[in-house]
Chains A and B, each alone.
Chain A
Amino acid sequence: MIAARGIRVRLGRKEVLHGVDFAARPGEVTAIVGPNGSGKTTLMRALTGEVDYEGTVEIGGQDIRAAKGWELAARRAVLPQATTLAFPFTVVEVVRMGLMTGAHGDDATLPSRALAEVGLAGYEGRFFQELSGGEQSRAHLARVLVQVWQPVDEGGPRWLLLDEPVSSLDIAHQLEVMEIVADYARRGGGVVAVMHDLNLTALHADRIAVMQAGRLRAFGPPAEVMTDAILSDVYGCRLRVSAAPEGPAPFVLPHCAAPG
């Protein structure tokens, strides 16, 4: 269980989160959506301990402010939205950095298995900086997977915290990555993901947190929060939610026509 209570975050003089309560359960994919500037990424950064915040964040009942860095690293792995890399490391050298926590011994095959999982088999010896943006994003996902490879260990469920994991990917790889993530949750791990694509979110998320102007506007299963009224209001444009032709997932269409 990840539980955040009364999260307030101030960036400079502006308060960008005004007391957010948020919770995510293991075995589920919890998505955070909302328009640009609504505080999605800031909420994620509070969950990872990257920004100073008021309130409390607990992972598995432990306050993250009281936890040591390596304790947190053994419980959760974080995929940031944008990354840099300073020196010419190869892909496998980057993925191997996920092994640094030592929580799973030094399984030498793990980096290659993770790369195969994200569709980058055979990329081990390539220079990371020569990959395309989408390939770099998937290589980082492999690094994150290596860090918390087993979804559940003796310390309880482990967590993937992903900030826009599919934004730079083509549609096939978006589906592939979301499937990897959903599978991680099915095997008992927890997933929190900041998402942009509402349809992809509806397809794969068990619960959706909808952010609006630094507050949590709605929080619940897709069918509950993905309504015409909520989404149109949050995004400030007319949106129509329909049922997908196959399966129960709702889908969203922009409605550009005049109101009525």
Chain B
Amino acid sequence: MAADTALAAPIADRRPRARRATVGLAVFLAAVSVASLAIGASGTSLWGALSTLATGGELSQMERVVLWDIRLPRLALGILVGAALAVSGAVMQGLFRNPLADPGLVGVSAGAGLGAITAIVLGGLLPAAMVASVGNWSVPVAAFLGGWASVILLYRVSTRRGRTSVATMLLAGIALGALAGAVSGILVYMADDRQLRDLTFWGLGSLAGANWAKVWVAGPMILAAVGASLLLGRGLNGLAMGEATAHHLGIDVQRLKNGAILTVAAATGAAVAVSGGIGFVGIVVPHLLRLATGPDHTHLLLNCALLGAALLLLADVIARVIIAPAELPIGIVTAVLGAPVFLWILLRRRGMVDL
């Protein structure tokens, strides 16, 4: 019987631990934020600037540019993107009742990627005046539209008479992802050398291009999506027992699915639009938290937002300092750190309870 296995030892109520984790993660996020502001290639000192301000002095031009125009928007973008990716992952996993589900699975990332690649490659064909008027917004906007379009298409395919089939949606997501990947491949083939470098950089994911414009593009969408996701907790808990049981518990299952899909589309679309394809945050962060404090979504989603933001900022700091003064694309850092953690989780849990 199960009583013989190590995991069968009774565990205490996990809710107080989850609340302590929320506090701890908020502190962790604050600490990493300070590090993100203080560390950088230019050698500008956050402490120097702060003491200048504290004594009523004026910041130098250099300090203002580095802190205000480079590091601060990068910090804000890192928090937004990290929270968006982790929460999207947790919501998708709850919706699909599968701990390996990820926004990448349902074609949101692939659709967003296709949009971005289209903008990079075909943007050169547009009249110069038109390109100038859209400016550097064309890639994020196109990525966002691509992500949305793929979700809406997917949703239409998998919804019959008001009911969304999760199995159909997963399979259709794989097909759409493959199609978007093929079209992207054609566009990459057409790209010139300079565009290829842009594409590579974008495809690996990076916060290097952070500026306030990107924060304003992604911020409202991500904040709204993460905030809305916090209302899905109880519903996703019920959904873990299947749609019928969730319905019996009084959950409006169709509304829950709609909310989850919109949340993921908004958060992932906006995140991919401003930072490219940053992998593993959406899978690793919810897993770590489920191991530590259990799968209860009423606290999991908020903690995912905090841990996702903190870990992405940490990865960004590593990406900036490890080969300074150059920097690595952050997607490489999250993959190098995330993939082994992911494998470790799989090995550790193999043969025990389901992830």
Number of interface residues of A (CB under 8 A): 38
- In the complex, whether B20 has a CB less than 8 A from a CB of chain A is no
- In the complex, whether B54 has a CB less than 8 A from a CB of chain A is no
Residues of B near A72 (CB, < 8 A) are 248, 250
- In the complex, whether A129 has a CB less than 8 A from a CB of chain B is yes
- In the complex, whether A66 has a CB less than 8 A from a CB of chain B is no
A88 partner, pick from B10, B242, B250, B353, beta carbons under 8 A: B353
Which residues of B pack against A, CB within 8 Å? 1-2, 5, 7-8, 10-14, 94, 97-99, 234, 237-242, 244-245, 247-252, 290, 294-296, 353-355
In the complex, the answer to whether B2 meets A131 with C-beta atoms within 8 Å is yes
Residues of B near A90 (CB, < 8 A) are 11, 14, 294
In the assembled complex, the CB of B95 is this many whole angstroms from the nearest CB of chain A, namely 10
In the complex, the answer to whether B7 meets A130 with C-beta atoms within 8 Å is yes
In the complex, the answer to whether A100 meets B2 with C-beta atoms within 8 Å is no
Bound CA–CA A132/B296 (angstroms): 22
Selected interface stretch from A30-38, A79-87, A239-247: A79-87
Identify whether the interface residues of B are mostly helix, strand, loop, or mixed.
Answer: loop
In the complex, the answer to whether B249 meets A98 with C-beta atoms within 8 Å is yes
Residues of B near A131 (CB, < 8 A) are 2
In the assembled complex, the CB of A137 is this many whole angstroms from the nearest CB of chain B, namely 13
In the complex, the answer to whether B97 meets A127 with C-beta atoms within 8 Å is no
Interface centre among B7, B12, B248, B353 (most CB of A within 10 A): B248
Bound CA–CA A93/B249 (angstroms): 14
In the assembled complex, the CB of A77 is this many whole angstroms from the nearest CB of chain B, namely 7
Interchain Cβ contacts under 8 Å between A and B, 15 examples: A50-B244, A73-B248, A78-B245, A83-B242, A86-B99, A86-B239, A86-B241, A87-B354, A89-B295, A97-B238, A100-B251, A125-B10, A125-B11, A127-B7, A130-B5
Residues of B near A129 (CB, < 8 A) are 353-354
Bound CA–CA A83/B251 (angstroms): 17
Residues of A near B247 (CB, < 8 A) are 49-50, 69
In the complex, the answer to whether B250 meets A87 with C-beta atoms within 8 Å is no
In the complex, residue of chain A having the shortest beta-carbon distance to the beta carbon of B11 = A125
Bound CA–CA A35/B250 (angstroms): 31
A83 partner, pick from B2, B245, B290, beta carbons under 8 A: B245
Please judge, given known A-B contacts A125-B11, A130-B8, whether A80 and B249 are in contact too, CB under 8 Å: no
In the assembled complex, the CB of A255 is this many whole angstroms from the nearest CB of chain B, namely 38
In the assembled complex, the CB of A13 is this many whole angstroms from the nearest CB of chain B, namely 16
B10 partner, pick from A69, A98, A126, beta carbons under 8 A: A126
A132 partner, pick from B2, B237, B240, B244, beta carbons under 8 A: B2
Within 8 A of B (CB), among A17-76: 48-50, 69-74
In the complex, residue of chain B having the shortest beta-carbon distance to the beta carbon of A103 = B250
Residues of A near B295 (CB, < 8 A) are 86-89, 93
In the complex, residue of chain B having the shortest beta-carbon distance to the beta carbon of A51 = B244
Please judge, given known A-B contacts A93-B294, A131-B2, whether A101 and B10 are in contact too, CB under 8 Å: no
A100 partner, pick from B14, B242, B249, B252, beta carbons under 8 A: B249
- In the complex, whether A122 has a CB less than 8 A from a CB of chain B is yes
In the assembled complex, the CB of A132 is this many whole angstroms from the nearest CB of chain B, namely 7
B294 partner, pick from A78, A85, A88, A97, beta carbons under 8 A: A88
In the assembled complex, the CB of B252 is this many whole angstroms from the nearest CB of chain A, namely 5
Bound CA–CA A130/B295 (angstroms): 16
Bound CA–CA A87/B95 (angstroms): 12
In the complex, the answer to whether A126 meets B252 with C-beta atoms within 8 Å is no
Residues of A near B250 (CB, < 8 A) are 69-74, 100-101
In the complex, the answer to whether A97 meets B237 with C-beta atoms within 8 Å is yes
B244 partner, pick from A80, A92, A94, beta carbons under 8 A: A80
Bound CA–CA A93/B14 (angstroms): 9
In the complex, residue of chain B having the shortest beta-carbon distance to the beta carbon of A75 = B250
In the complex, the answer to whether A84 meets B242 with C-beta atoms within 8 Å is yes
Residues of B near A98 (CB, < 8 A) are 249
Residues of B near A88 (CB, < 8 A) are 290, 294-295, 353-355
In the complex, residue of chain A having the shortest beta-carbon distance to the beta carbon of B354 = A129
In the complex, the answer to whether A84 meets B97 with C-beta atoms within 8 Å is yes
In the assembled complex, the CB of B163 is this many whole angstroms from the nearest CB of chain A, namely 10
In the complex, the answer to whether B13 meets A92 with C-beta atoms within 8 Å is yes
Residues of A near B12 (CB, < 8 A) are 125
In the complex, residue of chain B having the shortest beta-carbon distance to the beta carbon of A91 = B10
Bound CA–CA A80/B242 (angstroms): 10
- In the complex, whether A183 has a CB less than 8 A from a CB of chain B is no
In the assembled complex, the CB of A102 is this many whole angstroms from the nearest CB of chain B, namely 9
In the complex, residue of chain B having the shortest beta-carbon distance to the beta carbon of A74 = B250
In the complex, residue of chain A having the shortest beta-carbon distance to the beta carbon of B240 = A86
Apart from A73-B249, A97-B249, list 9 A-B contacts with CB within 8 A: A48-B244, A70-B250, A77-B248, A86-B99, A86-B354, A100-B250, A125-B11, A127-B7, A127-B8
Bound CA–CA A16/B210 (angstroms): 61
Residues of B near A71 (CB, < 8 A) are 250
- In the complex, whether A124 has a CB less than 8 A from a CB of chain B is yes
Please judge, given known A-B contacts A69-B250, A72-B250, A130-B353, whether A83 and B241 are in contact too, CB under 8 Å: yes
Within 8 A of B (CB), among A95-122: 97-98, 100-101, 122
In the assembled complex, the CB of B17 is this many whole angstroms from the nearest CB of chain A, namely 12
In the assembled complex, the CB of B355 is this many whole angstroms from the nearest CB of chain A, namely 8
B251 partner, pick from A69, A85, A93, A124, beta carbons under 8 A: A69
